[in-house]
Amino acid sequence: MSVSIGSVLLLICLLQIKHMFADYFLQTPRMLSGRGEYWHMGRAQHAGVHAVGSAIVLLGFGTPFGLLLAIVLAEWVVHFNIDFWKASYSQKKDLTPDQAAFWRAAGFDQCLHHLTYIAMVWAWVAFTG
């Protein structure tokens, strides 16, 4: 099967929309509290919301189950650790939204998440196209 540029762009767009909802609309107080500790159940749940959202998007593109499972598991691990880094760094530096360093950390966090989607789409193309 040949993958079209349109499919790739649509997949990226849908992952971006999923990201917006998972990061900004679906976070609960439990997901937002205590983020400086490594094994944090709220962060695990938050990364799980991302993984489930991505699975739904990838299912819509007919992704084979094994590939889908590998991609969303990798996303869960990467998302969990990116968020830990940002929380840990922000906490160690005592960053608040009125500081430029807070926004640099937030921007770097978001950049890493979006690059993760590029890697996920690459895997989708490489193993389905």
Query: What pLDDT score does 1 carry?
Result: 53
Query: What pLDDT score does 51 carry?
Result: 98
- Give the gyration radius of the chain's Cα atoms: 16
| Model pLDDT for residues 94-116, shown as the tens digit of each residue | 999 999 999 999 999 999 999 99
pTM: 0.94
| Model pLDDT for residues 32-72, shown as the tens digit of each residue | 888 888 999 999 999 999 999 999 999 999 999 999 999 99
Cα-based angle 76, 77, 79 (whole degrees, multiple of 5): 65
Query: What pLDDT score does 35 carry?
Result: 80
Q: In the chain, count H helices and then E strands.
A: 5, 0
| Model pLDDT for residues 10-31, shown as the tens digit of each residue | 999 999 999 999 999 999 999 9
The pLDDT confidence band at residue 93, using thresholds 50, 70 and 90, is very high
Classify each residue of 41-71 as buried b or exposed e, where b means 16 or more C-beta atoms within 10 Å of its C-beta: ebbeebbbbbbebbbebbeebebeeeebeeb
